[in-house]
Amino acid sequence: MNTLLFLVIGCVLCFTSAQPAEEEVKSLPGVINPQLSSRQYSGYLSASNTIKLHYWFVESERDPVNDPLVLWMNGGPGCSSLDGYLSELGPYLINPDGTTLTPNPNSWSKVANVIFLEAPAGVGFSYSDDQNYTTSDNETAKNNYLALLDFFAKFPNMAKKPFFITGESYGGFYVPTLSVRVMANASINFQGFAIGNGLLDSVLNTNTAVYYAYYHAIIGEDVWAKLQQYCCKDCKCNFAAPPNQQCQDLAITVQNTMMGIGINPYDVTGDCAGGVPGHSSLQKQHIFLKHFFEPSFLKALKNPKGNGSVSFDSNNIIPCIDAGPQTQYLNTAEVRLALHIPNNVSKWAICSGVVGANYKRQYQTMKDLFNMLLPKHRALVYNGDADMMCNFLGDQKFVASLQQKELGPRRPWIHAKQIAGFVHEYEQITFMTVKNAGHMVPSFTPGAALQMITNFLNNKPQ
């Protein structure tokens, strides 16, 4: 018995001593209970000699020794994963006062060790010494991979754990491009990846967005009839690359209705925070919309009317989303000190207009990368059904196009004795819709999201 006890104590000491003590978060301002729900760490990972990516790591609240490791990335491109921590799946959620935090009973740290990575450089607290924030899909993937290697060097006790890469929105590109690099490293126990409301194919996303808008009564019968007349032939429509001027003019009309009149594109059933925006908001949207939709569809935004002056207020750079509480909290001196953020690092913002404007999208679709990954790794694609930005129709078509063997027909899945959405399971990939959820699923339906990711991590049917 004494020998067994000694071994157990030794294992625990090995586990805890492997962490970088100087980066441990001892307490968080705004948390009532001084004892955090689990160990947390915040600091910087080296992606190059000049690029330092900020991470916030949360150990599992259940079993940090045996639970898997999950990397979480928000999208943009140019938006911070700390929003994922504070408003989606972290152990604490920001309150509207911008100063206090509430424990999250549906945090993904209930079942996994979770890394929140701010990338690329220029996003949130991440930075580059040369302040060059022009990057691309492949460059971002490379830097994220190098940062991940640095994480495993800092936390060697995490290196052999079952590892999953997850993200949402433009994470639909971030996750697969990083996954193919991780897959090639046999020393990493990479098991699979999950993408929520992700951009997976920009042509599919553009074409299905128009259908989505029509099905949700955002565009009317008069416009739809004309779209069918000028944009469709033999029951096949091309809104992404309008075949004629009449279709192009209609696409501009549809785009302005969808994105420019004040409908919340991230939750068509909900309100737009702050009310109906002015035209400057439409200008700001183009910084990020250009990465999600094909250029011809967004033609009207290339030369927007107005004085051309766009203010990148971090509170409302994302249309209809109020990031004021997160922004206030993360920019207080006490929080920056708790997270070990150097004084010379700029203020935190939910998204970087500079990164978004200078980001180079190098892919139109993730299909080839999925086909490289799926033979040996599992995948989950899930979509809140109220999201128009990355709508479920496009991702559903994308998953079907992979031609994976079906394990059964599309069926409802249950959470808390209610239908939570629909699931279609294939041999290596699962597609799920989440009922009554918008773009950020863990924010809208946190309990269902936790059940969904738990089943995925444990390779259990949904």
Burial of residue 180 (number of CB atoms within 10 Å: 0-12, 13-18, 19+): middle
Does residue 150 have an active-site annotation? Answer: no
The DSSP 8-state label assigned to residue 87 in this structure reads: I
- Bridge partners (DSSP) listed for residue 52: 46, 127
Tokens of 46: 């080296």
CB 351 within 8 A of CB 318: yes
Distance CA 238, CA 243 (A): 7
Q: How far from 272 is each of 10, 253, 439, CA to CA, in Å?
A: 54, 20, 13
List b or e across 134-155, with b for residues whose CB sees 16 or more CB atoms inside 10 angstroms.
ebbbebbbbbbbbbbbbbbebb
Does residue 439 have an active-site annotation? Answer: yes
- Bridge partners (DSSP) listed for residue 127: 52
Distance CA 135, CA 131 (A): 12
Q: What beta strand segments (E) does 74-205 contain? A: 92-94, 101-103, 113-117, 127-128, 135-136, 163-168, 190-196
Catalytic residue selected from 377, 387, 424, 443: 387
254-258: Cβ within 8 A, 24+ apart: 254/210, 254/213, 254/219, 254/223, 254/227, 255/293, 255/297, 255/298, 255/300, 255/301, 256/282, 256/300, 257/213, 257/218, 257/219, 257/223, 258/209, 258/213, 258/218, 258/219, 258/388
Catalytic residue selected from 54, 291, 415, 439: 439
Catalytic residue selected from 87, 126, 128, 169: 169
CB 41 within 8 A of CB 24: yes
Does residue 401 have an active-site annotation? Answer: no
Tokens of 419: 């239908």
**DSSP for 59-73, written as a single string:** --SS-TTTS-EEEEE
Distance CA 432, CA 451 (A): 12
Distance CA 53, CA 127 (A): 7
Please list the active-site residues: 169, 387, 439
